[in-house]
Amino acid sequence: MHLKRIELHGFKSFADKSVIEFQPGITGIVGPNGCGKSNISDAVRWVLGEQSVKSLRGSNMADVIFNGSEDRKPQSLAEVTLVFDNEDRFMNFDYNEVEITRRLYRQNNEAEYLINKEPCRLKDIVDLIMDTGLGRDSLSIISQGNISTFADSKPEERRGMFEEAAGVAKYKKRKLESIRKLERTKDNLDRVEDICLELEKQIAPLKRQKEKAEVYLELKDQLQSIEVSVLVKEIENLSESLKDLNVSLDFLDKEKVTIDGQILLNEQQNETLKKKMYDLDQEVNGLQGQLLTAMNNVNELETQKVEIDTNRKHILENTDKEDLQARIAQMKAILQDAVNEYNDRVHRYNETKEEKMDLEASQERNRNDMMALRQNIENLNLQLHNNRARKEQLIDVVENKSGYSYGVRSVMKARQSLNGIIGVLGDLLESDPEYELALSTALGNAVQFVVTKTDEGARDAIRFLKDNKSGRATFLPVETMQARRIREEHQVVCQNTSGYLGVMSDFVRYNTPIDSVVLNQLGHIILVDTLEHASALSRATFARYKVVTLDGEVVNVGGSLTGGSYKQQSSSFASKRELEMIKEVIESQEKEMTEKKSKLNDLDNMAREISHNLLQKQMSFAKLEVVVTNKKSDLQVAKSEYENLTNRSIELSEIQSGAQDNQLINELNEAKKRRDRLTEAIQAKRELRMSFVNENDKIEETLRASRSHLREIQSDMTQKQIEKAKQETELSNYLLRLNDEYKMTYEYAKEELATEVNMHEAKETVRLLRHKIDSLGNVNLQAIEDYQDVSTRYESLNTQRLDLISAQDSILKAIDEMDEIMVTRFSETFEKINKEFNIVFRNLFGGGRAELRYSDPDNILETGIDIDVQPPGKAVQNITLFSGGEKALIAISCLFAILRVRPVPMCILDEVEAALDVANVERFAKYLKEFSSETQFIVVTHREGTMEECDLLYGATMQQKGVTKLVSVKLKDAIDLAQTA
């Protein structure tokens, strides 16, 4: 290995970039004083890691940077690169050429180190050159000052050169590092032992608490695995039971409504029948009085007629047979009576027939009215059924949130166990119908956002959703939401733009104090009437706001448009409004149904009355048919007899008196007619009243049965409602326990954790586990984590403690081994150098003796080096008494002795022979030549004897003041050129 070149730029007097090439052998650098030749050795020392500014002949490190001259400006950095030939791998570096570079910047006094142009640390450079003979304390760089102080140095100060020669510097450095590491290890060990002692005091109580907590958690896990299944089963059973109870209650409620309606109708019918019966009783009483009068009148007339008939019979019996005229007259009277009675019966027959036909027509009309009314009731009942079904759907959407996401439904179900849940935004807002579509479009998915009081409440709800895998939801905390509004200048633009209606937040109503949420979601959304006006307003406000129309069309931020037809309107606002409307419709339809049923009942009563009256008329009509037939037959007989008598032309004078008889007959007929009609009317009314009595009895029986059934239904409903309330309370308690104790929803517990269990055994197990848990008393669950942390920390520290003890032992062992190696190597090398020192000394001084001795033989590792020399003819005991030249020669003798024992690849000698006379300079130069085959010498000199032995000379000059320039001359080429000349 040898130094191939030095590249300097901005270092001390080397202002310009200078490259100094070297070759094996001796290279001399000559020049007048102050020309900067010693700056070369300073540059080598600087690159190899010299940190002492004093050794570099400066007051601070920035002094190595070219500081300018009269003609040159100062440089901003100093850079020096040493290039070594490493083909023999003398340096432990796998490159044929090694470049070591150091830079220093003036601005921040920052230094850079590079090896083969790669950044590195100073330590890397020191490690690279360690034990190569290029170290800071080695023989690689020796100046005149080193030589002059060598003899005067203390024994301990001389030791460094010998350590470098012995190759123990790296061991010494490692030992120092090991000692420092040992000190740090001991400090760490003391701290670790103190901490371990403190942790040992904490572990025992924490362990007891931890074991208690683990028992608690184990019991809690067992309890959870069983109780969750029990709770799920209980909830499942209660849900099924409640479902059955609701079905039963719905059925009972419908049956109750039906029975209530029937009772109401029956009571109405009962009251109607009683009123009719009362009216009939009054009518019958009146008719009975009239009938009595009529019967008395008939009796009187009949008595008169009997008397007349008796008189006529007497006349006929006592009249002469030849007196036919009397018989004819009598027969004529009889015929006239028969005609009158026949005509009367025919007239009554026709009247009854007309009344019967009127009743039949009334019955047909009543039947048609009832059919139409029943059809109306059936249609109304179908509408009512559909509306009730729609009402249930809307209740499910509005109250049970079926249209919302799973996460929102889960939060709202568990809102009682969560903190600060206000509600879903869509449920908290109301708007007029004309703005609902615009509001729904403006909110979009935000209609399902959950409003909370605080940010913490929102985080709790999110944790609840995560723990139970119950979906996702978006939350709007009132306390943290920031209102968003339209800027004032844009408000002015809006107010002066056609179609502008206002800001969307102005068209909603809400009872809960959620102003910040409403303004955040709607305070910056503009409402206009049409899409054309929306586009114009968006352009006027530079498309910075969302603009919504009444038809639900949108001009988005940035200018994009959204619109089209809606398949169906299903916003929560429309659902709420539809629910209110359908409730009103159902109420109106139920009222209409009651009225129609009441009217149907009246028609039914009327039908019964018409049917009864028709039956009576039919019976009267049938009787009159027989009477008319009989009267007709009597008339024909009387007519025949009269004609026979007439044919005999018999006239009787008494026939003249027949007019009075006819008058009596007419009156009697009229009286009988009136009596019969009154009798028929009374009989009809009595039969009708009896039918009313029978019907009333049936209604009363039905009412008694209905009321009894209603009481049973009400009792059953009360029991079921009590049972329902009880089961709902139990279900709520189970759900709350599942939520509060285990932070689970029923759906998650059923899907993830529920198992089939024997309920009786499981409940008993739960009771025993809870008893065990209660018997544990206060449990510190944090103790498990604390114990784990303390235990882990103790184990880690204890491991560190053991590692530190082991490391301490290892370091001590390594120090002992290094001490042994250093003692061995130093002793061996020292003996060799001591032997060579005597030889070189005798050669350079021409005789005498020289010896190196330990100042402390018992402590080889730290002993200093004493020099005991005696030049020929002198008996000087103290080396400090020698002259300067003798001291220099003694130091040079020691230098060459070391080089004999351990040659170095490169050595820079900076005017070390300056104090020698000519003869000694020549001997010094010859020794250099002798060692130049193994060591590359760079000699800074101005002695001729040394120059003569150099293979290459560099002349240092300052052509420009303050800036060093080098000129090279190879002496061999110069000698050959001179001999040729």
Claim to verify: residue 117 and residue 210 sit in the same structural domain: no
Burial per residue of 127-144, b for 16 or more beta-carbon CB atoms within 10 angstroms, e otherwise: ebbbbbbbbbebbbbbbb
Dist CA 791 CA 210 (whole Å):
11
Claim to verify: residue 245 and residue 211 sit in the same structural domain: no
**CA distances (Å), origin 525, targets 442, 501, 521, 552:** 7, 11, 8, 13
Task: Specify the range with the lowest mean pLDDT, choosing from 655-664, 703-712, 756-765.
Answer: 655-664
Asked if residue 724 lies in contact with residue 242, where contact means CB atoms within 8 angstroms, the answer is: yes
36 is annotated as contributing to ligand binding? yes
Claim to verify: residue 82 and residue 199 sit in the same structural domain: no
Does 663 map to a domain? yes
Burial per residue of 289-314, b for 16 or more beta-carbon CB atoms within 10 angstroms, e otherwise: ebbeebbebbeebeeebeebeeebee
Claim to verify: residue 190 and residue 121 sit in the same structural domain: no
Dist CA 401 CA 89 (whole Å):
83
Q: Which is it for the CA torsion 234, 239, 240, 245, positive or negative?
A: positive
Range of the domain at 26: 2-151+882-980
Which residues fall within 8 angstroms of residue 795, CB to CB, at 6 or more apart?
Answer: none
Dist CA 500 CA 493 (whole Å):
10
Claim to verify: residue 77 and residue 146 sit in the same structural domain: yes
Choose the final residue of a domain: 662, 690, 715.
Answer: 715
Choose the final residue of a domain: 698, 715, 732.
Answer: 715
Mean pLDDT of 12-28: 89
Claim to verify: residue 49 and residue 118 sit in the same structural domain: yes
Claim to verify: residue 28 and residue 95 sit in the same structural domain: yes
pLDDT by residue (tens digit) across 495-540?
888 889 999 989 988 888 888 999 988 998 999 999 998 999 888 8
Three-state DSSP at 140 gives coil
Does 736 map to a domain? no
pTM over cut 0.85: no
Closest CA to 146 of 922, 892, 935, 937: 892
Claim to verify: residue 33 and residue 144 sit in the same structural domain: yes
Does 19 map to a domain? yes
Phi and psi, residue 926, nearest 5°:
-65, -40
Claim to verify: residue 99 and residue 143 sit in the same structural domain: yes
Q: How confident is the model at residue 315 (pLDDT cuts 50, 70, 90)?
A: low
Does 402 map to a domain? no
Claim to verify: residue 210 and residue 256 sit in the same structural domain: no
Claim to verify: residue 204 and residue 252 sit in the same structural domain: no
Amino acid at position 581, single letter: M
Phi and psi, residue 592, nearest 5°:
-65, -40
pLDDT by residue (tens digit) across 242-299?
888 888 887 887 777 778 767 777 777 777 777 877 787 888 788 788 878 878 887 8
Share of the chain above pLDDT 90, in %: 6
Beta strands in 738-854 (DSSP E): 849-854
* CATH number for the domain that contains residue 117: 3.40.50.300
120 is annotated as contributing to ligand binding? no
Dist CA 335 CA 313 (whole Å):
15
Tell the residue number behind the tokens 């669950």, with chain if given: 781
35 is annotated as contributing to ligand binding? yes
38 is annotated as contributing to ligand binding? yes
Three-state DSSP at 469 gives coil
33 is annotated as contributing to ligand binding? yes
Mean pLDDT of 213-230: 78
Which residues fall within 8 angstroms of residue 817, CB to CB, at 6 or more apart?
Answer: none
Query: Do strands 906-910 and 141-143 pair parallel, antiparallel, or not at all (unpaired)?
Result: parallel
Claim to verify: residue 68 and residue 198 sit in the same structural domain: no
- Tokens at residue 151, please? 């003899």
pLDDT by residue (tens digit) across 425-475?
888 888 888 888 888 888 888 888 999 989 888 988 888 888 887 788 899
Helices then strands, counting H and E runs in the chain, come out as 22, 22
Does 587 map to a domain? no
Does 112 map to a domain? yes
Q: How many domains does the chain have?
A: 3
Does 311 map to a domain? yes
Which residues fall within 8 angstroms of residue 60, CB to CB, at 6 or more apart?
Answer: 53
* pLDDT over 60 at 322, yes or no: no
**Residue 975 confidence (pLDDT):** 59
Asked if residue 955 lies in contact with residue 965, where contact means CB atoms within 8 angstroms, the answer is: no
pLDDT by residue (tens digit) across 565-613?
654 445 566 667 777 788 888 888 888 888 887 787 788 778 777 777 7
Q: Which residue has the higher pLDDT, 792 or 973?
A: 792
Asked if residue 481 lies in contact with residue 517, where contact means CB atoms within 8 angstroms, the answer is: yes
Choose the final residue of a domain: 665, 697, 715.
Answer: 715
Task: Specify the range with the lowest mean pLDDT, choosing from 87-96, 357-366, 644-653.
Answer: 644-653
